[in-house]
């Protein structure tokens, strides 16, 4: 028997630690080289018809396989399909492609799995409110597993468009207004969908969209133009996409909008220079649905032939649904207008993704099966996601949490017992039979010991039928407390669902006011796909919980929150305006030459008649509502009290390449165990280009027991403090910086440091 010398092991272990990354890197490089050789060999065998075919993606035919589709499959003239939900049809489509075409190249089957497949999680904006990348990753992994089981290989998400205008309906699909938070969550969602191995039967390819600047559409109108200086584009709108690329995202989708006069599907700066050359992206770029021919309406292209030229030149590899490539690429190459290399490059990108998915090795062709009911683990994760995403905005007199010993509770409102509306926008595959509504969950939690009185009040959120008001008020009078579930239906947010007015639709405000007039404590729960202007109505109630559209397990999680099973920990990922006239309103604004202050300024009602108000009123704000939002970015209350103390920075000076340590002591001074999201903000005080008043540079979600104190430390690399200067170079300039650590973007302890030249 061989004796092992422990000292020898201790000597070898450091070498093993050093060599293992090198070994893994060599292994990965070898695998990538083999994949590239396989792709190159396949590409060399393809005809031009088969190459152009790989660049085409079409929508499914609702469980049918028309003869024309069969012919396209046999001729190799199709690379991908989306939205084929019938498993038998999906399997047959793949069989024809593999067994009856010359080269047997499978299709990539795509589906919009935006915030869940069968198990519906909170909308992405709601998930962002949890400020928890690990949670977002876990939710995406469940969605990937369910979608892959149904035969899908590709989802068209995450949407990481930075959005600062809540009128835009698609704000529901993104992560809010901040590039730092958006980057962390974008990378997490990509890793959740794709896992450690994209060829795994439990993984699907993610798609970073919409590249780029879609969230900056003028007026919050979907599909509208965006004017974004390149520095702002690089500092605010592109970082989440770069984070997704660094996380290994397999695909990128172009956006519908133009940026500075150039539509995204023909934008060489975005797709060639930044994405390919600067970032080294090797995946697949797909257009959005018919976004390529829409460049004709933009006034950027003359006809479909021109569309094909400009899109391929810019770097679009696959065309979704429209036919510019299929109709014109062959002739454009033959006539010398486009080079063969451009076509080959696009097809190589497509085949590379198919290889990563395991499709070229036939690893994933028989997986399509009917979607089953959500698993208990999936439902428990969905419940946790809701519990962590709901934001407590108001809790006057600590009316929440409600006691489970109440004799009676009135549950009121059009959103209280609707199993569909809680699922939110872009719910393609969730089923209402899986949904537990808030009313059902409250009844289940309280049991028979508490009377639960229910009144719908309104038949749906947009209704103006007041006939149910009297019944709702009566139920409130008979109860110890009234809980009103209000908001906007799922149809009111999402793509092409922008709103000019952001108040509660219909006559919900009147319903809430009427119920509040019953004289009992009122808790308002808002279910919505965007920030709403709820300032006036929230003033009439004692507590407000903002639940977004929470998904399948919204009801049980909300019951847990209302009755104190868990404490709210959500924080706003976007600023809430007082009124639409403040938009855009966001925390990382510029200071201006006449910044507003918290010193009271003259308001419109205080100005004397025929008077000219001079300096005291001259500031960047509004005469009628001031400058502060209704609720700031990062805001969210708890059932306990968190106290911050003893902010310190490891050094008063730092150079490029250094990393500062920023620490604070956090205490749970209340009586309940809870989580607090500690946020780190920085301001560059003087720069060659003016900088925002604050920028998020770190966050940590910290659980604390009652009475517990914990030191929270952030590592702050000096390299992260830079911006793109007027030459579009990323620079960190010497000078003074301020630091804040606290519970939202308008509070916290403050200190400072200086960046010095090397």
* Residues taking part in catalysis: 288
Contact 247, 270 (CB under 8 A): no
Q: Which two tokens stand for residue 60?
A: 């499914």
What is the number of alpha carbons within 13 Å of residue 383 lying toward its C-beta? Answer: 21
**Residue carrying structure tokens 């300039």:** 733
- Quick check: helix, strand or coil at residue 662? strand
Q: Closest by alpha carbon to 416, among 397, 436, 439, 394? A: 439
Q: Closest by alpha carbon to 704, among 740, 739, 744, 664? A: 664
Distances 749 to 15, 346, 399, 598, 640 between C-alpha atoms, Å: 44, 52, 29, 17, 19
Preceding peptide of 591 cis, ω within 30° = no
Q: Which two tokens stand for residue 549?
A: 């559209």
Contact 473, 517 (CB under 8 A): yes
Give residues with Cβ within 8 angstroms of 66, minimum separation 6: none
Distances 125 to 390, 556, 695 between C-alpha atoms, Å: 11, 20, 19
Q: Closest by alpha carbon to 321, among 276, 371, 287, 369? A: 287
Residue 666 buriedness (CB in 10 A; 0-12 / 13-18 / 19+) = buried
DSSP labels for 292-304? TTHHHHHTS-SSH
Contact 123, 554 (CB under 8 A): no
Give residues with Cβ within 8 angstroms of 720, minimum separation 6: 697
Distances 584 to 174, 222, 493, 625 between C-alpha atoms, Å: 17, 15, 18, 14
- Quick check: helix, strand or coil at residue 84? coil
The length of the chain is 758
Residue 277 main-chain phi, psi, to 5 deg? -80, -50
Question: CA-to-CA distance for 596 and 603, rounded, in angstroms?
Answer: 13
Give residues with Cβ within 8 angstroms of 708, minimum separation 6: 667, 668
Q: Which two tokens stand for residue 419?
A: 């199993």
Residue 719: CB atoms within 10 Å: 12
Q: Closest by alpha carbon to 189, among 207, 215, 168, 171? A: 207
Question: CA-to-CA distance for 196 and 202, rounded, in angstroms?
Answer: 10
Give residues with Cβ within 8 angstroms of 193, minimum separation 6: 113, 140, 141, 143, 144, 155, 157, 158, 203, 204, 205, 206
- Within 233-375, residue ranges assigned H as helices are 239-246, 268, 294-298, 304-314, 324-334, 340-356
């Amino acid at each position: 028997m061989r004796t092992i010398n422990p000292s020898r092991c201790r000597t070898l272990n450091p070498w093993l630690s050093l060599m293992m990354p090198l070994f893994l890197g060599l292994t990965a490089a070898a695998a990538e080289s083999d994949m590239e050789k396989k792709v190159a060999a396949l590409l060399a065998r393809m005809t031009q018809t088969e190459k152009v075919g790989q660049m085409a993606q079409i929508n499914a035919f609702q469980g049918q396989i028309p003869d024309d589709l069969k012919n396209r499959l046999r001729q190799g003239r199709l690379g991908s399909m989306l939205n084929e939900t019938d498993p038998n049809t999906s399997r047959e489509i793949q069989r024809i492609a593999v067994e009856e075409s010359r080269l047997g190249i499978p299709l990539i089957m795509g589906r919009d799995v935006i915030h869940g497949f069968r198990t519906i999680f909170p909308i992405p904006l709601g998930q962002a409110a949890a400020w928890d990348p690990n949670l977002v990753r876990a939710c995406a992994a469940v969605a990937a597993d369910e979608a892959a089981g149904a035969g899908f290989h590709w989802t068209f998400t995450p949407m990481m468009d930075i959005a600062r205008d809540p009128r835009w309906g698609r704000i529901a699909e993104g992560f809010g207004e901040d590039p730092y938070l958006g980057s962390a969550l974008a990378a997490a969602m990509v890793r959740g969908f794709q896992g450690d191995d994209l060829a795994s039967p439990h993984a699907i390819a993610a798609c970073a969209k919409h590249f780029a600047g879609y969230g900056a559409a003028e007026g919050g109108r979907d599909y509208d133009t965006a004017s974004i200086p390149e520095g702002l584009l690089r500092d605010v709108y592109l970082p989440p996409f770069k984070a997704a690329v660094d996380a290994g995202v397999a695909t990128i989708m172009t956006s519908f909008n133009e940026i500075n006069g150039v539509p995204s599907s023909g934008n060489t700066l975005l797709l060639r220079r930044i994405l390919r050359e600067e970032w080294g992206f090797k995946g697949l770029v797909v257009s959005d649905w018919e976004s390529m021919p829409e460049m004709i309406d933009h006034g950027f292209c003359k006809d479909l032939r021109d569309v094909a030229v400009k899109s391929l030149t810019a770097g679009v590899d696959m065309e979704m649904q429209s036919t510019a490539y299929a109709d014109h690429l062959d002739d454009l190459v033959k006539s010398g207008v486009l080079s063969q290399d451009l076509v080959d490059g696009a097809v190589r990108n497509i085949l590379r993704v198919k290889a990563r998915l395991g499709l070229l090795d036939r690893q994933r062709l028989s997986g399509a099966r009917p979607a089953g009911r959500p698993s208990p683990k999936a439902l428990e994760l969905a419940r946790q996601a809701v519990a962590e995403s709901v934001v407590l905005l108001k809790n006057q007199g600590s009316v929440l949490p409600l006691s489970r010993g109440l004799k009676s509770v009135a549950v009121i409102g059009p959103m209280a017992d609707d199993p569909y509306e809680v699922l939110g926008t872009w719910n393609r595959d969730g089923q209402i039979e899986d949904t537990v509504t808030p009313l059902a969950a409250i009844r289940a939690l309280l049991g028979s010991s508490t009377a639960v009185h229910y009144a719908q009040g309104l038949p749906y959120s947009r209704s103006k039928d007041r006939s149910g008001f009297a019944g709702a008020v009566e139920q409130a009078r008979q109860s110890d407390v009234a809980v009103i579930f209000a908001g906007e239906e799922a149809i009111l947010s999402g793509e092409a669902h922008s709103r000019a007015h952001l108040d509660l639709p219909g006559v919900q405000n009147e319903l809430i006011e009427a119920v509040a007039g019953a004289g009992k404590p009122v808790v308002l729960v808002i279910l919505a796909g965007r920030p709403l202007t709820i300032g006036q109505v929230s003033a009439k109630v004692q507590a407000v919980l903002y639940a977004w559209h929470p998904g399948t397990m919204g009801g049980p999680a909300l019951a847990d929150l209302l009755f104190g099973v868990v404490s709210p920990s959500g924080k706003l990922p976007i600023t809430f305006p007082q009124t639409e006239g403040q938009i855009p309103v966001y925390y990382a604004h510029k200071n201006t030459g006449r910044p507003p202050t918290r010193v009271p300024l003259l308001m419109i009602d205080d100005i004397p008649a025929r008077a000219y108000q001079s300096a005291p009123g001259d500031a960047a704000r509004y005469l009628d509502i001031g400058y502060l939002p209704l609720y700031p970015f990062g805001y969210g209350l708890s059932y306990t009290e968190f106290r911050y103390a003893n902010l310190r920075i490891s050094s008063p000076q730092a150079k490029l390449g250094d990393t500062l340590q920023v620490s604070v002591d956090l205490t749970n001074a209340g009586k309940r165990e809870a989580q607090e999201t500690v946020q780190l903000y920085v301001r560059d005080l003087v720069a060659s280009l003016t900088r925002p008043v604050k920028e998020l540079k770190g966050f940590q979600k910290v659980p604390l027991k009652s009475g517990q104190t914990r030191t929270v430390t952030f590592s702050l690399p000096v390299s992260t403090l830079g911006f793109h200067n007027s030459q579009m170079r990323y620079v960190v300039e010497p000078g003074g910086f301020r630091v804040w650590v606290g519970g939202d973007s308008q509070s916290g302890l403050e200190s400072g440091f200086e960046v010095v030249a090397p």
